[in-house]
Amino acid sequence: MHALILIDGHTLVDTPPTLLPQLRRVGVSTKQIENLLFTHWHADHMFGFPFLILERRYIANAEKPLNVYLRPRGREILSNLCHVGFPRSLDEALSDDINWIESESGDIENSDWTFERFQVVHTPETDPHGYMLSHKSGFKLLHCGDSGTCQEIEERAAYADVILIEMGVPDFVESPNHHNPSQVNSLSQRHPHATILVTHNYADANDQEGGFSMPTLNEGIVQLEDGDELQIDENGGHILVRK
């Protein structure tokens, strides 16, 4: 399914069209979602938002407001999406059920995490950003958003325990807005201390007929599958539990 991460069962990064089935697969109700961050305004990262708000209000009867951390104009973009998808049905939810937070960094409410948002290289009209997510244990997760290579990622990679990177194109496609396998391998060579998790992949790890086969990736790079879980201990150590 589409790329997203769920942190501690109540914080989401992105709301793709497949969001509700993904939450149901892991037994999480939409009313449990308290915080939401966005990387950019492409459909595969945001079109699940109206469905999330609709279900929280009318099906799950969520009691807590949703904290939405986003860039300027984000509220307008998401509100317009809701008006197109469900005209007039979500007007009250958008005003009463959401805390719109336009901070570039700070604490994530009711969690053990802080965030720092930074600009990355992708389709500029989508206002693309990544996140350095820091846990109280000292663990740092660098979420690169949907980005090509850029100095902002490179500078932060040196401090990250885990780097989540979206490998959107094969090597033979020239795209400054995405990482390809060679660039992911190069990143791992420059930062061997970090575990690199690959998502948003053009290839299929199961090598399905008609698709792209998985490229050869360096040791320490993990191709994620739906349901994979990263567990962090109180000292900042981490292990990846496969689905």
Distance CA 14, CA 69 (A): 11
Which tens digits make up the pLDDT trace of 81-137?
Answer: 999 999 999 999 999 999 999 999 999 999 999 999 999 999 999 999 999 999 999
3-state class (DSSP) for residue 134: strand
Q: What is the residue-averaged pLDDT of the chain? A: 94
Distance CA 171, CA 108 (A): 37
Same-fold call for 1-106 versus 112-243: yes
Is residue 225 scored above 80 in pLDDT? yes
Which tens digits make up the pLDDT trace of 134-179?
Answer: 999 999 999 999 999 999 999 999 999 999 999 999 999 999 999 9
Which tens digits make up the pLDDT trace of 15-34?
Answer: 999 999 999 999 999 999 99
Mean pLDDT of 54-75: 95
Q: What's the confidence (pLDDT) of residue 205?
A: 61
Structure tokens at 140: 């740092």
Is residue 207 scored above 80 in pLDDT? no
* Percentage of the residues of the chain whose pLDDT score is greater than 70: 97
Q: What's the confidence (pLDDT) of residue 202?
A: 82
Is residue 208 scored above 80 in pLDDT? no
Q: What's the confidence (pLDDT) of residue 212?
A: 79
C-alpha dihedral sign at 113, 192, 45, 79: positive
Q: In this structure, how many other beta carbons lie within 10 angstroms of the beta carbon of residue 90?
A: 23
Distance CA 142, CA 29 (A): 26
Q: Considering only 44-58, 63-77, 195-209, which range has the smallest mean pLDDT?
A: 195-209
210 pLDDT tier (thresholds 50, 70, 90): low
Q: What's the confidence (pLDDT) of residue 32?
A: 97
Architecture of the domain made up of 1-106: 4-Layer Sandwich (3.60)
Question: Considering the entire predicted model, what is its pTM?
Answer: 0.95
Q: Comparing 72 with 151, which gets the higher pLDDT?
A: 151
3-state class (DSSP) for residue 71: coil
User: Alpha helices of the chain — where are they, by DSSP H?
Assistant: 19-25, 43-46, 49-58, 74-85, 91-96, 151-157, 181-190
Q: What's the confidence (pLDDT) of residue 42?
A: 97
Which is nearest to 78 in space by CA: 93, 56, 58, 63?
93
* Percentage of the residues of the chain whose pLDDT score is greater than 90: 89
Q: What's the confidence (pLDDT) of residue 39?
A: 97
Q: For the domain 112-243, what is the CATH code?
A: 3.60.15.10
Is residue 80 scored above 90 in pLDDT? yes
Q: What's the confidence (pLDDT) of residue 203?
A: 78
Structural domain spans, the chain: 1-106, 112-243
Could you tell me the strand order of the sheet in which 140-143 lies? Answer: 105-107, 113-119, 129-135, 140-143, 162-166, 195-199, 221-223
CA distances from 43 to 17, 50, 100 (A): 8, 12, 20
